[in-house]
Amino acid sequence: MNVTCEIVGEETATVSLAEDATYADLCRAAGYSPHEVSVLVDGTPVAEDGTVSESHVELLRLVKGG
């Protein structure tokens, strides 16, 4: 399954995931730790252990820089 990830305020990327992938898997595939971003579906945060069923999500970075 292909999912478009809009990194809020930055870029948009498309990642390929297994059909049973979780939102934590999606974060990692997009290059982020699940602790570094929140996944939003229609503007609402979702649990990282939920199964991805949408083709478009937003990733809101909580930690940036170092």
The three state secondary structure string of the chain is CEEEEEECCCCEEEEECCCCCEHHHHHHHCCCCCCCEEEEECCEECCCCCECCCCEEEEEECCCCC
- CA–CA gap between residue 26 and residue 48 (Å, rounded): 9
Tell me the pLDDT tens digit for each residue of 1-37.
999 999 999 999 999 999 999 999 999 999 999 999 9
Which pLDDT score is estimated for 66?
61
Topology adopted by domain 2-61: Ubiquitin-like (UB roll) (3.10.20)
Residue 65 has pLDDT above 70, yes or no: no
pTM for the whole thing? Answer: 0.89
Instruction: Give CA–CA dist 53/41, Å, rounded.
Output: 10
Residue 25: the pLDDT is 97
Paired sense of beta strands 12-16 and 2-7, if any: antiparallel
